[in-house]
Amino acid sequence: MPRIGVYICHCGENIAGAVNVEEVRKYAENLPGVVVARNYLFMCSDPGQELIKQDIRNGLIDRVVVAACTPRTHEPIFRKTVEDGGLNKYLLEMANIRDQDSWPHWHDKEGATEKAKKLVASAVAKAAFLEPLEDRFVEVTRASLVVGGGVAGMFAALDLANMGYKVYLVEKSPSLGGNMAKLDKTFPTNDCSACILTPIMVQVGTHPNIELLTYSEVESVEGSIGNFKVKVRKKQTYIDWDKCTGCGDCVNACPAKVPNEFNEGMDNRKAIYIEFPQAVPKRAVVDIEHCLSCAKRTIGTQPRIHSKTGEPILAPCEKACKTGACDRSREYNPEGEIVELNVGTIIVATGYKVMDKAPFKEYSPQSPNVITAMQLERILSATGPTEGHFHRPSDGEKPETIAFISCVGSRDKRYHTYCSKVCCMYMLKEARLIKEKYPETNIYIFFIDVRTGGKDFEEYYNYCRNLGIKMLRGRVGAVDELPGDRLRVRAYDVDLGAPVELEADLVVLATAIEPAPDLDELGRKLGITCGSEGFLKEMHTKLYPVETPVKGIYIAGCAQGPKDIPESVSQARAASSAAAVPLTLGKVIVEPLISEVNQRKCTGCGTCVQLCPYSAISLVEDKGRSRSKIDEAMCAGCGVCAAACPSGVITLHGFTNAQIHAQIKALAC
Amino acid sequence: MSSEQAARGVINLSESDSSLVNEIKELGGEELMECIQCAKCAAACPMVLAGFPFFNKRIIQAIFLGLRDALLDDSSIWACQSCNRCTEVCPREVNPFEIIQAMRRVAIREFALPTLSIEGLKSLYDTGHAVYLAGAGNTRVKVGLPEKPPSTVANPDALKELQAVIRKTALADLGIIPMDEPGV
């Protein structure tokens, strides 16, 4: 007969504020199998844990039920307590009387107390059937995959590489750099973005431990912590990168014109192009969709021969290439090439996208002089379409009056309800850069709240105001086009208590930070989820901010939510250090809460094989009969197979039929 | 502000006067730019309770936006009771009271001042008191005070000295009040 100890936590007022803990304790004392029931203010604290350990050491109990908060954060803590007391750590069951009881039923104290009793009774019933289990260990592949080559991904990769681990860095664009490469200067110190970023790009590009896979995307991920098998699709560049020197001769020869993504569509690039002059790796790619196939040189065909000269007729890009890297006879392969990687841990740092201005009809997005803040970054940048000359798009005139509009698409139920966090500061920065260079410019910033939470940010704000940048509290209601490329901005100044209007030459929209395209799809491949706002969800906002529910997969930078460069870098370095832990240990514990087949009784129907989401089950021949076999390393313990087995011969350890039936029965009493 | 816009109540920022900020700073409102429009001063201000359209916080915002005409067309800046509570409570050390004083100086330079103020200035020059109740002599005697207060009123020499000082201030250049002859 098991001897069960029940330990009920007050969680300060979190539980005790709604649940009559003493009443639940008395109730628990009389449950079958329970020999002792105690309560304490904070059961997870040292004195609380000691209560449990002492009862185990005194031989009083051999099963433990903790009625407290969520096992998601606290099960590991109490398992360690049980183990330190001298029991197998899987002889623990938790009843979540906080998240599932006191919190949702806060205003029904009686009901909450009754529900707590049921939850405790249910956990006690299961505890009677608990069995000791042994941890498994798996060897770790000492390599890591970083997805995303922006500032976060690069720092994560560099840190791991500097620790001596092999790092694969996958980036979907032809070059490293991400969004930061597009910025002119960066707050709060106004460092030139290129000056601080490009040396990092070079370090990453030349690090002996980093294998760069640019112009590539993650295709699929299998396996688990320690041993992920990742398929990466290297998109076809149609250029031999081993031969390409990045000289740009092919680019100059190309006659096609395509809106330039790097300059936010404000000028054109060619169909064969190098992403930007400081690209790493500096290699050309062919944008096959926009390629004109000059001289009928479709990729993958042999050149025609000139009837008079007998020479092959080549496309201009081929003719211009001195190294033979640009050879249109090469195979046409739109699918690209699949590379398989084995890694122990994965860091996702896929960054963000800036929202487009088009949806905001009230701000005349059709006007070329209504631009996004990212477009203004490109206009201000020395590598941008105007080479840093401050011209407005419609006619190249220098703007005299500029209006910035904050929270465009942020704090907006139609688009994104969250605050994009960086806009207040980058608007101030852009305004300051202009005002310092052209003090006569009139600059107005229309805001709802100026949010400058960050080291030295408030000082930056005050500095900008002292420069004469005018701040108006109130969302702009309308931007109308006027003759002469002028724009009329209409708002209500809350501080003045009056409607205001302004004629501006340039209107800058601080459009929202959005999750990178296809982030949810990548999340699905990795088994991690996005929150309602579309960014990847961390394990715990405060305590496990770079971990995800999938062990061995970590997140950093704007993939997790809007953040500035200092925060992205901090998080990247935190993620790299978390991702290095399993690599350093060389082996990881895998919980034994996995499925096992009783092969003797298996009929080999194969139902489980089809259902397993982790491809962990296969059919094997055994004495002339087909039987299912579960790969322990791949099983994630989801229990689908155990629930579906028509013969009932699959056991999910930790959640056996006997345990679950007892649990349900106790709830029904 | 054009009359059409004034009628609609819309303030046209394109017609604003960005020199106003510096003018206020030069005329005593040195800490103007420290204001972040938190409105703590407005919560302490009797002008707000009395319903004036411009009060400390709003006067400062109007200065930020260069709305010189709007401030001069309105009598609010003259309604400040000089209670100084705004300055006491301001967490940014803006000294809003001084900013209102500076704005009054701007107004006077443009002769945009109410008649009442002219009378006060004239009284200051003539008697040494901005507010002087000349008919109070009998009452003073009744309560045992001298008929004239022991100030410039009772001391013509001191008054002359004061007038000499006032004649050296900007007030003399403006010519708002006659200063040629000694008063009383």
Q: Where are the domains of chain A?
A: 4-127, 143-235+340-350+516-587, 354-514, 595-652
Q: Whole-model pTM?
A: 0.86
**Contact residues on chain B for A446, CB-CB shorter than 8 A:** none
CATH code assigned to A4-127: 3.40.50
Q: What is the largest CA-CA distance in chain A?
A: 104
β-pair type (A345-348, A337-343):
unpaired
* Tokens 């936006």 belong to residue: B65
In A102-165, alpha helices (H)? 109-127, 151-162
CATH code: domain A143-235+340-350+516-587 is: 3.50.50.60
- A634 band by pLDDT with thresholds 50, 70 and 90: confident
Task: Select from A498, A499, A502 the Cβ nearest to the Cβ of B14.
Answer: A502
Paired sense of beta strands A401-408 and A506-511, if any: parallel
CATH code of B3-109, in short, is 1.10.1060.10
User: Is A400 near chain B, with CB under 8 Å?
Assistant: no
The topology under which CATH files domain A595-652 is Alpha-Beta Plaits (3.30.70)
CB contact under 8 A, B10 and A401: no
What's the confidence (pLDDT) of residue A633? 75
Q: Which residue of B has its CA nearest to A463?
A: B33
Instruction: Report chain A residues whose CB lies below 8 A from the CB of B43.
Output: none
Handedness of CA A149, A152, A158, A163 (dihedral sign): negative
pLDDT tens digits, residue range A37-77? 999 999 999 999 999 999 999 999 999 999 999 998 899 99
Look over chain A and give the mean of its residue pLDDT values, rounded to a whole number: 95
- Render pLDDT for A340-367 as a digit per residue (tens, 0 to 9): 999 999 999 999 999 999 999 999 999 9
Q: Residue B10: which of A401, A444, A501 has the nearest Cβ?
A: A501
pLDDT in tens, A181-215: 999 999 999 999 999 999 999 999 999 999 999 99
- Cβ partners under 8 Å of residue B2, min gap 6: B12, B15
State yes or no: cis peptide before A174, omega within 30 of 0.
no
Provide the CB-side half-sphere exposure for A596 (13 A, CA).
10
- Whole-number Å distance between alpha carbons of A327 and A300: 9
Is some CB atom of chain A closer than 8 A to the CB atom of B33?
yes
Pick among B13, B40, B57 to test the A interface (most A CBs inside 10 A): B13
Which chain A residues have a beta carbon less than 8 Å from that of B11?
Answer: 493, 496, 498-501
Residue pair A464/A456 in contact by the 8 Å Cβ criterion: no
Which residue intervals of A86-150 are DSSP H helices? 109-127
Quote the strand ranges of A389-437, DSSP E. Answer: 401-408
Q: Please tell me the distance in Å from B117's CA to the nearest CA on chain A.
A: 26
For A147-175, write each residue's pLDDT tens digit.
999 999 999 999 999 999 999 999 999 99
Geometric angle at alpha carbon A22, from A17 and A26, rounded to 5°: 145
User: How much is the average pLDDT of A611-620?
Assistant: 89
> Do A354-514 and A143-235+340-350+516-587 fall under one CATH topology?
yes
Size of interface A-B (CB pairs under 8 A): 52
A470 touches chain B (CB under 8 A): yes
State whether the Cα torsion B83-B88-B89-B95 is positive or negative: positive
A38 contacts A51 by C-beta, under 8 angstroms: yes
Please tell me the distance in Å from B115's CA to the nearest CA on chain A. Answer: 27
Q: Is B48 on the interface with A (CB under 8 A)?
A: no
**Cβ-defined contact of B65 to A497 (cutoff 8 Å):** no
The pLDDT of residue B171 is: 86
Q: Hey, where are the domains in chain B?
A: 3-109, 115-174
Which B residues, 5 through 24, put their C-beta within 8 Å of a C-beta on chain A? 8-14, 18, 21
A354-514, CATH topology level = FAD/NAD(P)-binding domain (3.50.50)
Q: How far is residue A265's CA from residue A189's CA, in Å, rounded to a whole number?
A: 28
pLDDT at A328 over 80: yes
- The beta-carbon neighbor of B57 closest among A444, A495, A499 is A495
Antiparallel, parallel or unpaired: β A478-482 and A345-348? unpaired
Interface touch B62/A496, C-beta < 8 Å: yes
